[in-house]
Structure 1
Amino acid sequence: MFPVIFVSLGPGEPELITVKGLKALQAGDCIFCPETLSKEGERVSRAAGILLQLGIPENMLCRFPLPMSKQRENALSAYDRIYSEASALRQQGKKVCIVAEGDAGFYSSIHYIYDKLQADGIPVDHIPGIPAFIAAGALGGLHVASLEERLTVIPGIATVEDIERLTSENSAIVIMKLSRCTDEIHRCIRLHPEYRYHYFENVGTPAERYLNDSKQIAALRFPYFSLLIIRTGAF
């Protein structure tokens, strides 16, 4: 009987998926992918868009609504349903894939399903992907970390004090999901114009954007799919 395979799609550009990940999708019978409701009430799915561009047929996709909220109860309920459906399909001999943008084991709540399956003794496999900050570094032509420099990746709960402490420890910093800490980032830019700020949004999509002008960055309200790389070195 086949394991449930978690396939990491990468940051958004279909060609950045791994060959192993694509082969697993092409061999699958059912591919679970999340979708959310836009502010206009439309169902949208970046993951489904990637799959369709890779030539995966729509009839293989099992879309499921994933509520986007800091209150995680509804999201966990959705994951519980996927766990049950994936388990049942596997028992029927189906090849089941569950996809995640970026990497399924890096700031991905879909890992909840992975843990639940594993805890119940159901075989799982995780095919890694390229996380957004690595793709962002390539887009900006950056060495994300150099020589003996440390790298610290934090979610969008960063404060100016966090950033000051990490830069004093010779650490490059990646801050994910900037929409949660917009005001703190703006304050950091005012207090520390000497830092080098590299801002990215929607990496790997037609709407991708890269800015390294701190004044332009300080004027933005950051969307959900955004990240910032802060360095004190030459790049």
Structure 2
Amino acid sequence: MYPVTLVSLGPGDPELITLKGLRTLQEADCIFCPETATRQGAPACSRAAHILAQLHIPDNKIERFHLPMSKDRQQAMAAYDQAFLQIRTLCADNRRVCIVAEGDAGLYASIHYIYDRLHSEGYPVEQIPGIPAFIASGARAGLHLVSQQQRLTVIPGLATTEDIEQLLGEGGTVVIMKLSQCTDEIHHCIRLHPEYTYQYFENVGTEQERLFTDPQTLANLRFPYFSLMIIMANR
């Protein structure tokens, strides 16, 4: 039985996938790819599928499954359960199956639920690492994220100003993922601490990529889903 492989695609630029990841996709019989609708009634879209198309992966190998964008994870879990059942059937037919995730599949990727379930039921699974968005963002801006004994802390969009103050007070760099979930708190932090260095990234690795560093601009900017921020104290 072939292992089911989680393939990390990187943040958006198709050239940032690893050679191993690309080869695995090319050899796969079926590639499970999540798609979402950004608002009710809107057509489903998939950034992962767009990356696959740029990599010239045949569309007939791609099995899209709808992943609801909601804080209520029950619907998402139901979608993952359905994908798991399909994958299990393909495994029984000795098909080579991949599941794709943007960025790195082990970093804030809820699709890992399928990996965990397959593993718990005895199916062979493996994971191919990729470049997470904050690493690509740092390279895009020419940042040296940490030096010597400094710490790099990556936190989700539940960050508060107090969290940021404490972490920067200990030295190092703070990366906030899922930035749209804490827009008001980030605006408050920017107004309270204009002395920090803020690096904001949106849709990194895509044609819609944007980078802002001006605190006044950031303090009034609404953050979309595909955004993150790198914050540093003055060094």
TM-score range relative to shorter protein: over 0.9
Cα deviation, residue 171, structure 1: 2.7
1:232 aligns with 233
Separation (CA, whole Å) in 1 of partners of 2:11 and 2:186: 23
Letter of the 1:10 counterpart: G
1:9-48 aligned within 5 A: 9-39=9-39, 41-48=42-49
1:85 aligns with 86
Output one character per residue of 1:95-133: Cα deviation in whole Å (capped at 9) or x when no partner: 000000001111000010100000011000100000000
Kindly indicate whether residue 209 of structure 2 is the aligned counterpart of residue 208 of structure 1: yes
Output one character per residue of 1:150-173: Cα deviation in whole Å (capped at 9) or x when no partner: 010000000000001101111310
TM-score in terms of structure 1 length? 0.98
Separation (CA, whole Å) in 2 of partners of 1:63 and 1:12: 18
Secondary structure of the structure 2 residue equivalent to 1:64: strand
2:224 aligns with 223
1:134 aligns with 135
2:165 aligns with 164
Output one character per residue of 1:156-194: Cα deviation in whole Å (capped at 9) or x when no partner: 000000001101111310000111100000000111011
Secondary structure of the structure 2 residue equivalent to 1:76: helix
Separation (CA, whole Å) in 1 of partners of 2:228 and 2:197: 14
The answer (yes or no) to whether the contact 2:195–2:234 under 8 Å persists in 1 is: no
1:108-127 aligned within 5 A: 108-127=109-128
Separation (CA, whole Å) in 2 of partners of 1:142 and 1:120: 43
2:63 aligns with 62
Letter of the 1:204 counterpart: G
Cα deviation, residue 43, structure 1: 1.1
Secondary structure of the structure 2 residue equivalent to 1:99: strand
The answer (yes or no) to whether the contact 2:38–2:69 under 8 Å persists in 1 is: no
Secondary structure of the structure 2 residue equivalent to 1:93: coil
Secondary structure of the structure 1 residue equivalent to 2:122: coil
The answer (yes or no) to whether the contact 2:152–2:174 under 8 Å persists in 1 is: yes
Separation (CA, whole Å) in 1 of partners of 2:234 and 2:135: 18
- Corresponding residue pairs, total: 234
Q: Which runs of 4+ in 1 moved over 3 A?
A: none
Output one character per residue of 1:27-56: Cα deviation in whole Å (capped at 9) or x when no partner: 000000000013351110000000011000
The answer (yes or no) to whether the contact 2:154–2:174 under 8 Å persists in 1 is: yes
Cα deviation, residue 87, structure 1: 1.1
1:168-183 aligned within 5 A: 168-183=169-184
The answer (yes or no) to whether the contact 2:202–2:227 under 8 Å persists in 1 is: yes
Provide structure 2 residue ranges, at least 5 long, that are not aligned to the other structure: none
**What percent identity do the matched residue pairs reach?**
62
Separation (CA, whole Å) in 1 of partners of 2:110 and 2:160: 23
Secondary structure of the structure 1 residue equivalent to 2:135: helix
2:4 aligns with 4
Separation (CA, whole Å) in 2 of partners of 1:157 and 1:211: 21
TM-score in terms of structure 2 length? 0.98
